[in-house]
């Protein structure tokens, strides 16, 4: 679903394209932190730090632009396979983000949610997530969802298991397993499907991100590395989205 721009929307001083459409839900695969660091002969951790800065910028820009939902891929279930030091760095950044940013996020009216397999996260991070979700739970300006320890296939398997258990318990008729009931068992049960999925860094893959939810999303692949991603880039992806014709499988 998308909403027409009725009035000029601003990112900084730039006008959004009139007559285009603002996607209600933008999802981003934030890729390229490592290459950004390598190009500067810096450790990968420096790239992730700049990536966290870019996330701050884009949360603000998305809210200014009138996007209702922003979902970002912060750490995939496959990212656990990275060297222990890098995993520790990423978890440290996450801690910092949850501790330091939460007051700002709350002040800006952003509701934070985390999706993914929490069992693999450390207890202190789980507590920080729960506190952040509770603190921002009533905010409505922008819904920010961070996918952490998240994999799309695992999410679908988890939903299937939950439905199977409900059938076994006698509370669900197999005939009532359909797209709606399946959706209600995903992490994103109360989040609309993404309209626009952006991947940075020139890679053209989905990488197990929101597989079910992105069935009819528009994809925009951009060459910019994530740490360089700015409000202007989000604006240009949204403009590209605004020029697309969505048919959801119907004849054009
Ligand atoms: C991809 O870059 C990015 C990640 C693996 C994680 C994204 C993390 C951040 C933006 C840091 C802050 C986020 C949170 C939620 C605290 P890459 O390392 O795969 O880059 P490369 O492909 O160039 O090596």
- Alpha-carbon distance values, 13 to 18, 61, 152 (Å): 15, 11, 37
| Tokens 């360089």 found at | 228
Mean pLDDT for back-to-back runs of 10 residues, the chain (252 residues): 40 45 97 98 98 97 98 97 97 96 96 97 98 98 98 98 98 97 97 98 98 98 98 97 89 76
Q: Work out which ligand 1 atom sits closest to the CA atom of 52.
A: 12
CA of 5 to the centre of ligand 1 (A): 32
56 in a structural domain: yes
Burial class of 190 by CB neighbour count within 10 A (0 to 12, 13 to 18, 19+): exposed
Question: For residues 10 and 47, what is the distance between their CA atoms, to the nearest angstrom?
Answer: 28
> With contact defined as beta carbons under 8 Å apart, do 24 and 2 qualify?
yes
What integer pLDDT is reported at residue 11 of this predicted model?
A: 37
Q: Which two tokens stand for residue 238?
A: 């949204």
Name the residue at shortest CA distance from atom 5 of ligand 1: 75
What integer pLDDT is reported at residue 198 of this predicted model?
A: 98
Q: Which CATH number goes with the domain that contains 129? A: 3.40.1180.10
250 in a structural domain: no
162 in a structural domain: no
What integer pLDDT is reported at residue 251 of this predicted model?
A: 82
The verdict on the CB of residue 35 being under 6 Å from ligand 1 is yes
160 in a structural domain: no
87 in a structural domain: yes
Catalytic residue among 18, 33, 79, 106: 79
Is there a catalytic annotation at residue 139?
no
Count of domains for the chain: 1
Q: Which two tokens stand for residue 48?
A: 């992730």
186 in a structural domain: no
What integer pLDDT is reported at residue 49 of this predicted model?
A: 98
Domain that holds residue 69: 25-150+194-242
CA of 74 to the centre of ligand 1 (A): 7
Query: What pTM does this model have?
Result: 0.92
């Amino acid at each position: 679903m998308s909403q027409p721009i009725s009035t000029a929307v601003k990112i900084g001083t730039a006008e959004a394209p009139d007559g285009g459409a603002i996607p209600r839900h933008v999802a981003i695969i934030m890729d390229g932190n490592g290459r950004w660091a390598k190009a500067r002969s810096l450790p990968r951790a420096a790239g992730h730090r700049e990536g966290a800065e870019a996330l701050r910028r884009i949360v603000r820009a998305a809210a200014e632009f009138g996007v209702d939902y922003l979902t970002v891929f912060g750490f995939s279930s496959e990212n656990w396979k990275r060297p222990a030091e890098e995993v520790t760095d990423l978890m440290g950044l996450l801690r910092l983000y949850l501790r330091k940013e939460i007051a700002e996020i709350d002040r800006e009216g952003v509701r934070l949610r985390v999706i993914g397999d929490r069992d693999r996260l450390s207890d202190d991070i789980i507590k920080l997530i729960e506190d952040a979700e509770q603190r921002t739970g009533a905010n409505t300006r922008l819904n920010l969802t961070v996918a952490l320890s998240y994999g799309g296939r695992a999410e679908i398997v988890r939903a299937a298991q939950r439905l199977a258990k409900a059938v076994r318990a006698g509370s669900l008729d197999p005939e009532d397993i359909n797209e709606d009931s399946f959706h209600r068992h995903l992490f994103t049960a109360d989040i609309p499907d993404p309209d626009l999925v952006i991947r940075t860094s020139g890679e053209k893959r989905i990488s197990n991100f929101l597989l079910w939810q992105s069935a009819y999303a528009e994809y925009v692949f951009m060459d910019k590395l994530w740490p360089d991603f700015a409000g202007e880039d989000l604006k240009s992806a949204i403009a590209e989205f605004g020029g697309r014709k969505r048919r959801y499988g119907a004849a054009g």
